[in-house]
């Protein structure tokens, strides 16, 4: 009986949860209490996917405090193919040093993927954030491969409906809005079980009605 169990242990088909959690991922504080408590902040050196059904539920704001921190480094924060104009007054109000921001406009998915890959590999970016309207597993695999060797914050945003069902991205996060709240579901993460329904107040609400 004992031999049979050992055989199973040596089988390459057995997934060992412990091994994965042993990889030491570095985190940067998200400065959002619910997230910091649940997962310890945003991982560096691992690709994070943010999906949401619509723009405007506070999805980018989840990264803002981390970006503020990263903008103190002498490196770029690359925003690749953003859907609208990244509005400088808002970003600087949030404390981000906007002279570190590098906006990269692309016209198709392969250019976006290429630009993200270049930015990740160049070692000159503290954060690389991309927006996809469409993406393939192959592209994401390549990006994750690039991320593996870096200590960069790497994330991409995509509409829930366009996101592929299976992706090699180690962190998947869906973002929804519910009145004043931004609801976060971590559907996939490295070294742990999914976590559902973390909530934070939409930062715009915090700001306009902050004292309430």
Helix (H, G, I), strand (E, B) or coil at 94: coil
Task: Tell me how far apart the alpha carbons of residues 160 and 86 are, in angstroms, rounded to a whole number.
Answer: 21
Candidates 34-42, 110-118, 144-152, 191-199 — which segment interacts with other proteins by CB under 8 A?
A: 110-118
Query: Of 16-24, 116-124, 142-150, 162-170, which segment contacts other proteins by CB under 8 A?
Result: 116-124
Asked if residue 176 binds other proteins (CB under 8 A), the reply is yes
Binding pattern for the stretch 39-68 against other proteins, x by CB under 8 A and - elsewhere: --------------xxxxxxxxx--x----
What gap in Å lies between CA 60 and CA 64, rounded to an integer? 7
Name which of 71 and 144 has its Cβ closer to other proteins. Answer: 71
Q: Determine if 117 is a binding residue for other proteins (CB under 8 A).
A: no
Classify each residue of 3-30 as buried b or exposed e, where b means 16 or more C-beta atoms within 10 Å of its C-beta: eeeeeeeeeeeeeeeeeeeeeebeebeb
**Binding of other proteins by 8 (CB under 8 A):** no
Q: How far is the CB of 87 from other proteins (least distance, A)?
A: 4
Query: Other C-beta atoms within 10 Å of 192: how many?
Result: 13
Per CB under 8 A, the list member of 66, 125, 139, 153 interacting with other proteins is 125
212 belongs to the binding site for other proteins (CB under 8 A): no
Gyration radius from the chain CA atoms: 18
């Amino acid at each position: 009986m004992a031999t049979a169990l050992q055989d199973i242990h040596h089988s390459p088909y057995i997934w060992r949860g412990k091994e994965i959690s042993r990889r030491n991922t570095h985190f940067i504080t998200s400065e959002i209490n619910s997230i910091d408590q649940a997962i310890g902040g945003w991982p560096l050196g691992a690709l994070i996917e943010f999906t949401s059904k619509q723009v405007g539920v506070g999805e980018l704001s989840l990264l803002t405090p981390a970006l503020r921190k990263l903008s103190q480094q002498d490196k770029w924060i690359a925003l690749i193919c953003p859907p609208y104009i990244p509005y400088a007054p808002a970003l600087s109000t949030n404390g981000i040093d906007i002279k570190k921001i590098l906006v990269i406009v692309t016209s198709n998915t392969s250019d976006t993927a290429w630009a993200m890959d270049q930015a990740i590999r160049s070692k000159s970016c503290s954060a690389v954030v991309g927006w996809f309207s469409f993406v393939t597993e192959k592209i994401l695999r390549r990006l994750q491969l690039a991320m593996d060797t870096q200590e960069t914050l790497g994330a991409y945003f995509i509409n829930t409906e366009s996101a592929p069902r299976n992706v090699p991205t180690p962190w998947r996060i869906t973002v929804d809005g519910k009145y004043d709240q931004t609801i976060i579901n971590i559907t996939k993460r490295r070294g742990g079980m999914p976590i559902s329904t973390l909530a934070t107040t939409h930062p715009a609400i915090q700001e306009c009605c902050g004292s309430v």
